[in-house]
Homo-oligomer: A and B are copies of this chain.
Amino acid sequence: MVDVDSLSRKAKRASRELAHSTTEEKNAVLQNIAKKLRENKQEILEANQQDINLAKESGLSEAIIDRLSLQGDRLERIVEDLETVIHLDDPIGQVIDTKTLDNQLEVSKVRTPLGVIGVIYESRPNVTIDIAGLAIKSGNAAVIRGGKETMNSNRALVNVVKQALEDCHFPADCFMFIDDPRRECVHELLQCYESVDMIIPRGGANLHQYCREHSKIPVITGGIGICHIFVDESADLERAIEVIHNAKTQRPSVCNALDTLLVHRTIGETFIPQIVENLGKDGVTFKGDNAAVVISKDGAIQPAGEGDWDTEWLSLVLGIKVVDGFDEAVEHIANHSSGHSDCILTESQDNAENFLKLVDSAAVYVNASTRFTDGSQLGLGAEIAISTQKLHARGPMALAELSTYKWIIRGKYQVR
């Protein structure tokens, strides 16, 4: 039985060593992790095979087994992602702002690590190494709680990280693994506000809600994407189909995939049948409002229930709603979007700029697939989470979003 509070306090203490290290020292740890992951490949894959066997015995779904697998070239790809992080700029120590006040006080704001990051995630063991790379590179310790179906894989991966830290003269406590399958451990972690500075849940809506309701530590909620594309009457309809096809089908199980298509009434009659034909042949099924159902005629669009507009499909289902125009589209998005990624397809400059102004989501698009809401795609080089809350960070989060700042004030014995 792991004592989560005492483990988190040890991480806090150890975090001070990382916080004051140089970029070179932190990169050396990451290099060392990469090297050891390759050297210990056999051992890691054996541990992972144990998890796979246990998952099969427990009758877990193929989808879950696929997610927890490190077999084939997956481990090598994880190492490559880690090597990418080595080449990213280190945000720590950056001077955000600097000024000299009238009284000659020299004031600056300097980026510093948060301290300890707590991450609660589910079946993907690649997250373990993602977190290690991003946390260590940004000078933070981490306390991680992975899914119980990946305990053996995580144990093997965490050992590599801890050894790499020690080889580079950092405390192994900088990377703490809650090696205990009890569900209570999550609740215990959420109480450790004296030692953990930020909680990142990575999982479904229930996990995010549980963290929001029970955490005494600031939580980054996000990852839930009820994403919209509004096809305005002026859109280039041929290219619109390509964007919609991409947003819905390229990877339907992820948060930035399209959920609801809003179609301007003027073009509904011609455009909706094209969408149904084009996406339908790749396995997409449709739920529509009355107008869309009527347009489809052949029953290809099933009537949507009220809750369907608030559903993240995570699969090849697409909601289609006919709207009277721009205002109704924006109003529907205000009422049903999860604030993740929403898009307008239009050739009207006015509508484009008004959409960007009026839609209050983490990522707002004109004429592009919602699938670009991703740290790597948007140029951050990596991603630890996608925030749909407004505090601290919004949208894709990488190294800079794992930092805070402090005010540094240099004086000559000034008083107030």
Question: Which residues of A come within 8 Å of B, CB atoms?
Answer: 16, 19-20, 99, 101, 105, 107, 112, 114-115, 193, 197-198, 212-213, 216, 218-219, 236, 239-240, 242-243, 245-247, 250, 334, 345, 352, 356-358, 360-369, 371-373, 377-379, 389-392, 394-396, 404-416
Contact A408 B239, CB 8 Å, known A218-B391, A413-B345: no
Pick the residue among B16, B368, B416 that contacts A409 (CB under 8 A): B368
Q: Which residue of B lies closest to A367 (CB)?
A: B411
A196 CB to closest chain B CB, in angstroms?
A: 11
Assess whether B239 is in contact with A413, with CB atoms less than 8 Å apart: yes
A115 CB to closest chain B CB, in angstroms?
A: 7
Q: How many copies does the complex hold?
A: 2
Assess whether B415 is in contact with A243, with CB atoms less than 8 Å apart: yes
Q: Which residue of B lies closest to A114 (CB)?
A: B390
Assess whether A416 is in contact with B371, with CB atoms less than 8 Å apart: yes
Q: Which residue of B lies closest to A251 (CB)?
A: B416
Q: What is the bound-complex CA distance between A19 and B404, given in angstroms? A: 26
Q: What is the bound-complex CA distance between A242 and B240, given in angstroms? A: 70
**CB neighbours of A115 from chain B (8 A):** 360, 390
Assess whether B414 is in contact with A378, with CB atoms less than 8 Å apart: no
**CB neighbours of A404 from chain B (8 A):** 390-391, 394
Pick the residue among B107, B391, B407 that contacts A392 (CB under 8 A): B391
Pick the residue among B20, B213, B389 that contacts A358 (CB under 8 A): B20
Assess whether B218 is in contact with A368, with CB atoms less than 8 Å apart: no
Assess whether B216 is in contact with A218, with CB atoms less than 8 Å apart: no
A370 CB to closest chain B CB, in angstroms?
A: 9
Contact A391 B361, CB 8 Å, known A372-B105, A412-B367: no
**CB neighbours of A193 from chain B (8 A):** 212
**CB neighbours of A361 from chain B (8 A):** 406
Assess whether B414 is in contact with A372, with CB atoms less than 8 Å apart: yes
